[in-house]
Amino acid sequence: MFWKKKSEPSTPKVEKLPGPKDVPDIVGGHLVTDFNQNPDWVWKLKVVVRRRQESRHAFDVRVFDEFQTAAKNIKVRNYTSLDEHPEFILFEGWFNTDTRQLQLEEKKTV
């Protein structure tokens, strides 16, 4: 015999956000060339991302310095972790890995 399980009301899927990562090439290159930032400093930064709804290749991004957050005992787990500490967001915007489009703005004087 085959028993059918009663289907339970479906809960909306919550996307699991990735943790901090190294700065992607598209973002780092933009910071160095368009924002005239020191490359040695840029490649030491970290980013947190979340997927944008319009494309699976588009991401919101926040750039931060993990040494500054660690000095203040702030654990950055994912993109939303910085909602409570916007003072640590150095640059914020979005990028698309497929079309190579990017938009960033400086959030804090570095």
Strand locations in 1-110 (E): 21-22, 46-51, 58-64, 89-96, 102-106
Rounded Cα gap, residues 98 and 103, in angstroms: 14
**Inside any domain, residue 7:** no
**Inside any domain, residue 16:** no
pTM over 0.75: yes
**Inside any domain, residue 75:** yes
Residue 12 banded pLDDT, cuts 50, 70, 90: low
pLDDT per residue as tens digits for the range 61-104: 999 999 999 999 999 999 999 999 999 999 999 999 999 999 99
Question: What is the count of structural domains for the chain?
Answer: 1
**Inside any domain, residue 1:** no
Range of the domain at 29: 21-106
User: Residue 109 has what pLDDT?
Assistant: 54
Question: Is the predicted pLDDT of residue 7 greater than 70, yes or no?
Answer: no
Angle, vertex CA 71, rays to CA 93 and CA 75, nearest 5: 60
User: Residue 16 has what pLDDT?
Assistant: 86
**Inside any domain, residue 46:** yes
User: Residue 83 has what pLDDT?
Assistant: 94
**Inside any domain, residue 36:** yes
pLDDT per residue as tens digits for the range 16-60: 889 999 999 999 999 999 999 999 999 999 999 999 998 899 999
**Inside any domain, residue 89:** yes
**Inside any domain, residue 80:** yes
